[in-house]
Structure 1
């Protein structure tokens, strides 16, 4: 195989011939601007106490975080369904599955520890004090 044929085969295999696979300044700047906006909005929501309810604010911030992760994956990591024959997306799905299992399991364990290991009330502690030994 000639050197030019090997280079063409290598470029085709790694997607170097695809203009969408290369990063552009415009793509990086778009990702940067979106990242700044997706960071500034939740910061403003918390600092100005716009929503008022802490649970709702937390859910909105988590939604912004998810959108920001997607922006980073697309703009900076260049992940899409066509890259590497779809293996990137399969690896991402596997990673997300493991993260969800870990988070749900951790929350479940912490909830049950909190429920089952709470200290006794003041009244309960006084009724369970052993009698002093007789002398």
Structure 2
């Protein structure tokens, strides 16, 4: 009986670990897709103009001008005035709770896809 319980507990722990790995993988994919959508010139870095354009499209010009520079500065860990993918992933995961990240980035990803299908003239 103890062996059966031990096997059951082990199976549950393996399942939970697998589910956690799946969630982490999904989260990383969503963050990467969002980063690639912000990185409009696809050079592997997000510059302030790219990030400002994203914030303006997504949240409006007020947030982009008032809070945008501070957000960008926090995400730019090495101070090179660019955010690389690793800096972006680190900033997003450190700033938001796990459930919030998936929800907010899924919304952002959908908005980026919509923007690319219906570009506006600038």
Settle same-fold status: TM greater than 0.5: no
Give 1 or 2: higher strand fraction. Answer: 2
Which protein has the larger Cα radius of gyration, Structure 1 or Structure 2?
A: 1
TM-score (norm 1): 0.27
Pick 1 or 2: higher relative contact order, CA cutoff 8 A, min separation 6.
Answer: 2
TM-score (norm 2): 0.28
